[in-house]
Structure 1
Amino acid sequence: MIALTDIEMSFGDLAVLKSVSLRIAEGSVTALIGPSGSGKSTLLRCVNLLEIPQAGELVIGGDRVEFVPGKRPERDAILRVRRQTGMVFQNFQLFPHRTALGNVMESLVTVLKWPEGKARARSLELLDKVGLAHKADAWPAQLSGGQQQRVAIARALAPAPKVLLCDEPTSALDPELAVEVVEVIAQLAREGTTMLMATHDLRLTANIAHEVAFLDGGHILETGPARALFAAPVQERTRQFISTLLTQ
């Protein structure tokens, strides 16, 4: 489904991603773990081209984009990639002037030009999927953090993306509210949704992810099946990081 090859990303003189390569199989859940500043969120944003790498190659679905220093990919190539991805942000990023239903409908009506009735039906179906059909007419300010994140997941799923990208989807929530979001993500995983997520949440990595990639200093130091990597990491740096997570 997704292949990243030798991705390089810098902000000024700061190299954030250094020759990063990663393969993500269709129907799998891959978790990106690592300390703050390791490049996890930037790597996610490179997949949907919210950030444009300076070098390397991205293949997603049937589309291939090569990155050349000083040259921006063609607009159509960027749009084709973005239409295949859905993004769930750490801090929800809901439109405050739209209801829960309006937030989910927005991209369908505005970007994809769906008829309002069709968009409404699809959006209500997704709100029901995340357990919030009864909150369709609520404003974001009337929703808990967990409910807002579930609306954000429904919104990301609305255009039926090939891959769902989740940037620390539970980190802004207290543990009780985070459980709601974990349950929704677990259900999506059981249904075969392809997901790539950056997270510090052990429930997501150990119990839901199929594969884990450990990033540190802009490099992927180790990848492997989630349970195997947590039980017996090969790299000492990975072992140290996982030990720190387990004691939190």
Structure 2
Amino acid sequence: MIELSHIEKRFGDNVILKDISLTIPEGTVTALVGPSGGGKSTLLRCINLLEIPTAGTIRIGEETATFQPGKKPSWQDIQKIRRQTGMVFQNFQLFPHQTAIQNVMEGLTTVLRWPQDKARARAVELLTKVGMAHKIDAWPSTLSGGQQQRVAIARALAPSPRVLLCDEPTSALDPELAAEVVDVLGKLANEGTTMVMATHDLRLASKIANNVVFLEAGNIVETGSSRNIFSNPAQERTKQFISTLNSGLSYDI
């Protein structure tokens, strides 16, 4: 389970996240949706401490970290939370000088100190899972955007994180390539992978997410099940935003 309690994030005098409290059950998919600048990506980056919250508490499984204004957390506290998470970025962020399999193995061998043969076996397993077994020795520059993102998903899953965090995983892709990534994420969701994703892609959120959090101006406007948020939102602002979903377009997953 992931618990966020009274999370605040400031950049100078600018308050980006305002008293955010959320509980994310294990084995579920939660989508963070809302207009640009609403705080979705910042909240996601706070969960794995790429951004350090100004205040509040994060608990992932048995690990807890509390933040206070003006007090810098220890490297050990940061790492114990960060190692519970895997991160998938909007623009893939694969190492261009490494092949697909080397990208997946990198964290296992350099951070976790796995032996090469064990790391390679894990990488092959995950690249097969995401449909990239035939490209294990390919360089990122030779892969399509959808293929690169699938490698990035395999890399994020390699150390068996408690939660997979996805920051706009389809926004850099055209609809056809995005569908490849949605297919992989859908399969992971069906397997019970805990995921939190920040996305503008309401089709992705409506197809995969169990729960939806609507953020605007750093505040939670509404939370609820995917079905309720997309079919019968309680807040008028949520209704306005959800109306931008084009029901004529959908992913086949």
Report the counterpart of residue 156 of structure 2 in structure 1: 156
Q: CA deviation at 1:245?
A: 3.0
Question: Which amino acid is the alignment partner of residue 55 of structure 1?
Answer: A
Identity of aligned residues (%): 68
CA contact (8 A) 2:45 2:51 kept: yes
Report the counterpart of residue 115 of structure 2 in structure 1: 115
Question: Which amino acid is the alignment partner of residue 204 of structure 2?
Answer: L
Report the counterpart of residue 238 of structure 2 in structure 1: 238
Report the counterpart of residue 95 of structure 2 in structure 1: 95
More displaced stretch, 70-79 vs 209-218: 70-79
Q: Does 1:3 align with 2:3?
A: yes
Kindly provide the CA deviation profile for residues 26-69 of structure 1, in whole angstroms up to 9, marking residues without a partner as x. 00000000000000000000000111111111111101111111
Segments of structure 1 that go 5 or more residues without pairing to the other structure are none
Q: Does 1:141 align with 2:148?
A: no
Question: Which amino acid is the alignment partner of residue 225 of structure 1?
Answer: S
Query: C-alpha separation between the residues in 2 aligned to 1:112 and 1:39?
Result: 32
CA contact (8 A) 2:127 2:136 kept: yes
Report the counterpart of residue 14 of structure 2 in structure 1: 14
More displaced stretch, 5-14 vs 42-51: 5-14
Query: C-alpha separation between the residues in 1 aligned to 2:14 and 2:61?
Result: 31
- Partner of 1:185, secondary structure, is helix
Query: C-alpha separation between the residues in 1 aligned to 2:189 and 2:225?
Result: 15
Query: C-alpha separation between the residues in 2 aligned to 1:203 and 1:150?
Result: 19
Report the counterpart of residue 175 of structure 1 in structure 2: 175
Report the counterpart of residue 55 of structure 2 in structure 1: 55
- Partner of 2:19, secondary structure, is strand
Question: Which amino acid is the alignment partner of residue 165 of structure 2?
Answer: L
CA contact (8 A) 2:166 2:195 kept: yes
Query: C-alpha separation between the residues in 2 aligned to 1:15 and 1:69?
Result: 13
Q: CA deviation at 1:119?
A: 0.3
Question: Which amino acid is the alignment partner of residue 124 of structure 2?
Answer: L
Report the counterpart of residue 199 of structure 2 in structure 1: 199
Question: Which amino acid is the alignment partner of residue 44 of structure 2?
Answer: L
Q: What is the TM-score normalised by the length of structure 2?
A: 0.96
Report the counterpart of residue 190 of structure 1 in structure 2: 190
Query: C-alpha separation between the residues in 2 aligned to 1:6 and 1:80?
Result: 20
- Partner of 1:184, secondary structure, is helix
Report the counterpart of residue 84 of structure 2 in structure 1: 84
- Partner of 2:244, secondary structure, is helix
- Partner of 2:243, secondary structure, is helix
Question: Which amino acid is the alignment partner of residue 31 of structure 1?
Answer: A
Task: Report how many aligned residue pairs link the two structures.
Answer: 248
Query: C-alpha separation between the residues in 2 aligned to 1:66 and 1:115?
Result: 34
Query: C-alpha separation between the residues in 2 aligned to 1:125 and 1:232?
Result: 41
Q: CA deviation at 1:209?
A: 0.3
- Partner of 1:45, secondary structure, is helix
Q: CA deviation at 1:229?
A: 0.9
CA contact (8 A) 1:100 1:138 kept: yes
Kindly provide the CA deviation profile for residues 161-189 of structure 1, in whole angstroms up to 9, marking residues without a partner as x. 00000000000000000000000000000
Q: CA deviation at 1:246?
A: 3.0
Query: C-alpha separation between the residues in 2 aligned to 1:6 and 1:68?
Result: 11
Query: C-alpha separation between the residues in 2 aligned to 1:246 and 1:238?
Result: 15
